[in-house]
Amino acid sequence: MLEIRKRRWKNSKLRLLKRIKKLEKRKKAIDIELSEIQPLVDEAKAAVGSIKNESLSEIRSLRAPPDVIRDILEGVLKLMGIYDTSWVSMKSFLAKRGVKEEIQQFDARRVTGEMRVNVEELLKKNGASFEKKNARRASVAAAPLADWVRANVKFSYVLEKIEPLETEQNQLKKNLQKAESRMEKLSKALAEVDKEVEQLKQRFEKFTKEAQQLKIELDKELKTIQDAETLVGKLQNEYERWNEQVGELTNELNELPKKALMAAAFITYLSAAPEDVRKDNMHRWMEHLGVKDFDLRRFLSTESEQLTWKGEGLPSDNLSMENAMVILQSSLRPFMVDPSSRATNWLKEHLKDHKLEVINQRDTNFNTALELAVRFGKTLLIQEMDQVEPILYPILRGDLMAQGPRFVVQIGEKVIDYNEEFRLFLATRNPSLEIPPDAASIVSEVNFTTTRAGLTGQLLAQTIQHEKPELEQRKTTLLKQEEDLKIELAKLEEMLLEKLANSKGNILEDHELLESLNKTKESSLTITKSLSESIKLQSSLDQERGAYLPLAESGSRLYFVISDLCKINNMYRFSLASFFRLFNRALSSEQDGGSMEMRIKSLEEKLQYLVYENVCRSLFKADRLMFALHMVYGMRPDLFAENEWEAFSGLIVSDIKGHDGKLAHDLPSWIDQDRVQAVGLLKNTFPDLYKQLNFGDSNVWSHFARNSECEKDVPLAKKISLFQQVLVIQAVRPDRLQSAMAHFACKALGMKELSPPTVNLKRLYEKETMAEEPILVVISAGADPSQELEELAGTIVGKDKYHQVAMGQGQSEIAMRLLHDCARDGEWLCLKNLHLVTAWLPDLEKEIKNLSVHQNFRLWLTAEVHPKFPTILLQSSLKITYEAPPGIKKNLLRTYDSWTPEFVQKDNNVVRSQALFALAWFHAMCQERRNFIPQGWTKFYEFSMSDLRAGADIIDRLLKGQDVAWNFMHGLFEFAIYGGRVDNPFDNSVMVSYLKQFFNSNVLGPQARNKRIGPIHLPASTHIKDFVDEIEKLPEFDKPSYFGLPENIERSAQRIISSQVISQLRILKRADVKGHKFDKDVWATELGPILSLWKKVNQGSQLIHMKVAPPGDTSGNESPITSFILLERYNAVKLVQSVHLSLAALSKVIRGSQLLTNEVSKLAEALLNQETPMTWINKWDGPEDPMQYLRSLVARSMAIQDWVSKAESRQLLSETLYLSELFHPDTFLNALRQLTARSMSCSMDNLKFACNWRGSIQGAKHPIKIGGLQLEGCSFDGQRLSENQQDSPSVAAVPPCTVAWVNKDAKEIYNSDETISLPIYYSSDRDRIVTRLDVPCGGNQSQWQLCGAALFLASQ
């Protein structure tokens, strides 16, 4: 041992000596450099020493030294480590005692690399200063110092190179000394060892013989040890893995009760919850229980089971997989809510080997099938569950009774043996089915209704399957392979343990066992390696799949965008299956050969267009703009900045009442005064945008204010976003808002126009219809596709194979029989007017679902909109809307299509034929005028074909003779036929004007002078073709003049339509919740803005805390006006306080400090539906929108305080009054009437209402001036009415008017022939009349009636 150590030390010494020699060689080279530089340094030091003090003093005495001296001294200072190189510093340095000695004794080792670099830069920059001749010329002392600087720089550079060598050499010498010292000790020890070796040799001979004997035994033991080491080495990985598994199992065992609890809670409480609720609750439970990692899917099932389910048709998304685990593991009977039927079909496939029997709840043999399944232990799946039948309750509750060794259960009136293998599954496709509480507690509701995340997963799988099917296949193969490898590895480990446990005798001597273990180990290593590679490959595949995730997410968003439409109209429901078909159509579009990103973008655009086109054909035209905007909002959130959409849709909470006066004063002249509040909202909500717009610059905005297409030429369009342009138009030009919204939607969706191609039934049949899917035609009032359908059937299957049934009482059995016959024979069936039999439709839907159909079979359904139309039938049908084409021309053509030539030509009576045409024109006027509600008609009147038939019958009866009683005809039309539907007197006057205009002897009859109706010249003929030819000459689009409406009617229409669209968008935004189902988070989110608004509008007012006594004048001496105002204030304050109490109770419920009551529940339900609660409406019939109601309530209540103070000071009637500030302005006018009657000592019936636009009213006791009136339909300057031009504002303010109650015998202020009585409505909705005013019109009252002229109170 000592010898070995000695050899090692010798080798170390030799290595050290070699390294020292190498270092010495390198050092010699550097020493040569030093020897060359050292003399220069010494010479420089000596020269420095020879510098006379006077020379230094001379330099010091200089006020500003030459550059040479400054550069040299700077080099000296920098080498000495002095960084201050100012002249003061240099003089201080030279003044130091012993400065020469300090320079001479300076050690170049003190020079750092940085110092040397600085000096080298100085030498390089100002090298001329350091040359001897230049230095000496500058000063005697400068030359030695310059030499000293140059020499020390070089010397420093060489020293830097030698320093590490010296360090290393010194260290090596120290190591060498240590090695020599140890060598010496070892030599002494070796001598002693040699002596001992001699002695040991003798002993060695002695033990040699013993060693030979031991060697034999040693070889044997070595073999044993080698086998043991091999065994231990082979089992090392297993040992480590088993140790790790033991640790994991220990942790798992510790957490097993918690995880089992979470799994049980999930199955019990979350099976009906959507995905996000499940996730939130699971996270909350994990935090509460302290569980760090919990994968429910891995806990309740294996990867192999999930792959099997997927292969059986179960969607692969997380929700479906979790639901499958609940279904198969729940202790209660599963109740599946499965709108798409995909889960039900999977369950049928999964249970097909378990004596599965499938029945419907309404099957005639339902009870028998249930009894047999219970008795013989079958698996029973009950589909189409509408409710939980009472017969099922004993089974669901588990009400088993023991009879000896067996159990029985009561089913109906029978007691049936219960087989323990019996399993029951319930399923429904109705997503809105509510399970009663007594049933909900004994079933596990499992909700398969599509969620956003779940649909994303399904669409991603669909995309991968189409675009990269190999990826999905490889993923599935890998998962299966991974599961198989894990199982095989577990089997090998079990086999290994079994062999080790069953080994007999010495395990190390069992060579057969060891060989078997080696093989097992090799297999285990191979499997482990394969598992590792599989996991890596899976990760790589998941990354590739993830590239298509944006398309799947976009598709999922799109589906839920269209799902919201049912909030607008119950008929707007779309199935997931139809959406998947559209998605597949998009995927099937041609590839452009670009990158994957380009392909995904192209697919997104294609899908968006397909969905838009297909959904639009299922919507009525009036709802398409709403859908386009909703689609933009849902799919392009990047186009909207914060609060922009909320401000646009009227959901923003902003209080601008305190600024109205200042805003009205500061409002630029080009903006209408009625836009004050809208501009104020824009200013308060978006101050930066408002500042940027600079409305005060009329040069920029004046053209915009006059432009008839201002949405296409918005100033600053390049500086503000597309949607901000819409906000601007909404604020200042609402008469173009509809066009602006359409323009924005087209730009955002990348479309040229929002109207999709017209639906062609033949093209629809050829490209999209299927025998299994009914086609539902949703019709508008007055539209009927029967004829078009009949013609299509004639060309496709023949008229003899087309059947139609108009549904009504007693037709359901006939319809069912025809349904089965046509489905079997491949014929067509049309069931019309299904909205009349909504209670029967669930039966029809179930029959359709269970039909076996011929491929040529088609089922056509027609129905008008109905709120109770079954959801399932709507979703399972291919829907299109069918509307009567708009316009007078189309209307007239439909009328003449319904009349036969014989009917028109009857009796060859020309006047009768012309009167029929006048009727057709009148009918068209009445129907098409509905497009201009509320200016055309104040509401939608159901003028229909029955009115037309009745009118034609009247004409047929009255025009048989020569003398025609036109007035009698007018009376029948006005009071019995068309007029029977009209309930507004001013609408009735419009109708009477039409009747007088069209049905008179000047237009119809042999002596008629004006044979024109509208733009059409009446043919003097009885041939239907002559009239049709005249109709064909009409333009496709109606002119306002046809109706007598003003030229700017489009402006009014745009205001109304855009307002309706925005109202619909607000409805779409509301949460799909019910008031009686309390959800704290949803209520807080949805109702928070209303509570915040109430708080804001009441800031600065004392209304909530004001104490007001009810008016109690019993003397009768108080003025009726004062009594009314005091009562108005009392009611206003009480209403404010009542609203406050109800909202406070709602707020407390949301905060959790008060229990939910029935009143609060009803209040919340109304507010969640964005409707004003009936408890508020009953006290004041205000706006239907709750936010507008609250704003208007507080504004009016505060305004009434001023009325009270003016009334008490008797100044009220001398002021200009704004009736819009009152809750009951009509009552105020009656109070004024009562006051006048008292003053004139006459009855109220002897008074009439008079007005004067020019000045005072003669003889009036209590005249008042009314302001704040607005006029629609025409213009008024205080003198007379004038027609609106195309660029006239849709609504215009009118001058204040003096009104009073005067004696009914008083002289009229205006000539009755030159005035028209116009109504004053509460609002522009024209729903309630306050009173009417006579307005000078210059005659021709009919003109102003037809133009829809009306006054209304300015909105508060």
User: What per-residue confidence (pLDDT) applies to 521?
Assistant: 67
CB 1055 within 8 Å of CB 735 = yes
Nearest alpha-carbon partner for 931 in 1056, 1064, 758, 785: 1056
CB 142 within 8 Å of CB 135 = yes
CA distance 1318 to 1331: 9
CB 663 within 8 Å of CB 657 = no
User: What per-residue confidence (pLDDT) applies to 709?
Assistant: 85
Inter-CA distances, 1180 with 390, 939, 1231, Å: 47, 22, 19
Structure tokens at 1261: 């006791």
DSSP per residue, 955-969: HHHHTSSSS--HHHH
User: What per-residue confidence (pLDDT) applies to 1075?
Assistant: 47
CA distance 75 to 127: 11
User: What per-residue confidence (pLDDT) applies to 659?
Assistant: 42
Residue 661 above 60 pLDDT?
A: no
Lowest mean pLDDT among 341-350, 517-526, 572-581, 811-820: 517-526
CB 746 within 8 Å of CB 754 = yes
DSSP per residue, 1106-1147: ---PPP---SS-S-HHHHHHHHHHHHHHHHHHHHHHHHHHHH
CB 935 within 8 Å of CB 1049 = yes
Output the 3-class SS for 54-67. HHHHHHHHCCCCCH
CA distance 61 to 1230: 113
Q: pLDDT tier at 1071 (50, 70, 90 boundaries)? A: low
Residue 678 above 50 pLDDT?
A: yes
CB 1270 within 8 Å of CB 1354 = yes
Structure tokens at 428: 């429904």
The mean pLDDT value of the chain amounts to 83
CA distance 803 to 814: 11
CB 920 within 8 Å of CB 1004 = no
User: What per-residue confidence (pLDDT) applies to 74?
Assistant: 75
Nearest alpha-carbon partner for 991 in 977, 1012, 1010, 1003: 977
Lowest mean pLDDT among 123-137, 863-877, 1030-1044, 1226-1240: 123-137
CA trace torsion 253, 258, 259, 264 (10° rounding): 130
- Partners of 409 in the beta sheet? 416
CB 1324 within 8 Å of CB 1291 = yes
User: What per-residue confidence (pLDDT) applies to 922?
Assistant: 93
For residues 428-454, average pLDDT = 85
DSSP SS3 for 128: helix
Lowest mean pLDDT among 132-146, 769-783, 1083-1097: 132-146
Higher local confidence (pLDDT), 73 or 1167: 1167
User: What per-residue confidence (pLDDT) applies to 655?
Assistant: 54
User: What per-residue confidence (pLDDT) applies to 803?
Assistant: 92
Of all residues in the chain, the percent with pLDDT exceeding 90 is 18
CB 1295 within 8 Å of CB 1326 = no
Burial class (CB in 10 A: 0-12, 13-18, 19+), 674: middle
CA distance 96 to 76: 14
User: What per-residue confidence (pLDDT) applies to 507?
Assistant: 64
CB 811 within 8 Å of CB 830 = no
CA distance 233 to 227: 10
User: What per-residue confidence (pLDDT) applies to 478?
Assistant: 66
Tens-digit pLDDT profile for residues 1213-1272: 888 899 999 999 999 999 999 999 998 889 999 999 999 988 888 888 889 999 989 999
- Partners of 1292 in the beta sheet? 1271
Of all residues in the chain, the percent with pLDDT exceeding 70 is 86
Residue 660 above 60 pLDDT?
A: no
User: What per-residue confidence (pLDDT) applies to 1?
Assistant: 54
CA distance 885 to 783: 9
Higher local confidence (pLDDT), 20 or 1121: 1121
Tens-digit pLDDT profile for residues 525-569: 676 676 676 667 667 666 777 788 888 899 999 999 998 898 898
Higher local confidence (pLDDT), 333 or 39: 333
CA distance 510 to 843: 77
User: What per-residue confidence (pLDDT) applies to 612?
Assistant: 92
CA distance 442 to 614: 42
Rounded to the nearest angstrom, the gap between the alpha carbon of residue 1008 and the centroid of all alpha carbons in its chain is 64
Per-residue b or e along 1007-1030, where b marks 16 or more CB atoms closer than 10 Å to that residue's CB: ebeeeebbebebbebbebebbbeb
CA distance 480 to 470: 15
Greatest mean pLDDT range, 468-482, 644-658, 978-992, 1301-1315: 978-992
- Partners of 365 in the beta sheet? none
Residue 52 above 70 pLDDT?
A: no
Tens-digit pLDDT profile for residues 297-306: 888 888 778 8
Residue 472 above 70 pLDDT?
A: no
Count of residues for the chain? Answer: 1356
Residue 1209 above 60 pLDDT?
A: yes
Q: Which are the contacts of 201, defined by CB distance < 8 A and separation ≥ 6?
A: none
CA distance 1229 to 1246: 15
Burial class (CB in 10 A: 0-12, 13-18, 19+), 763: exposed
Q: pLDDT tier at 1177 (50, 70, 90 boundaries)? A: very high
Q: Which are the contacts of 1326, defined by CB distance < 8 A and separation ≥ 6?
A: 934, 935, 938, 984, 1319, 1350, 1352
User: What per-residue confidence (pLDDT) applies to 1158?
Assistant: 87
Residue 6 above 70 pLDDT?
A: no
For residues 209-225, average pLDDT = 75
Give the Cβ contact number of residue 382 at 10 Å: 25
User: What per-residue confidence (pLDDT) applies to 722?
Assistant: 92
Give the Cβ contact number of residue 227 at 10 Å: 17
Tens-digit pLDDT profile for residues 910-960: 888 989 999 999 999 998 898 888 889 999 888 888 889 999 999 988 887
Residue 1276 DSSP class:
E
User: What per-residue confidence (pLDDT) applies to 658?
Assistant: 41
- Partners of 337 in the beta sheet? 428, 447
List the Cα angle 844/848/849 in 5-degree steps: 115
User: What per-residue confidence (pLDDT) applies to 453?
Assistant: 82
For residues 22-45, average pLDDT = 64
**Cα-flanking dihedrals φ and ψ of residue 598, to 5°?**
-65, -40
Rounded to the nearest angstrom, the gap between the alpha carbon of residue 1188 and the centroid of all alpha carbons in its chain is 25
Higher local confidence (pLDDT), 899 or 189: 899
Tens-digit pLDDT profile for residues 165-179: 667 667 767 776 776
Q: Report CA Rg, the chain.
A: 50
Residue 889 above 80 pLDDT?
A: yes
CA distance 1324 to 1314: 26
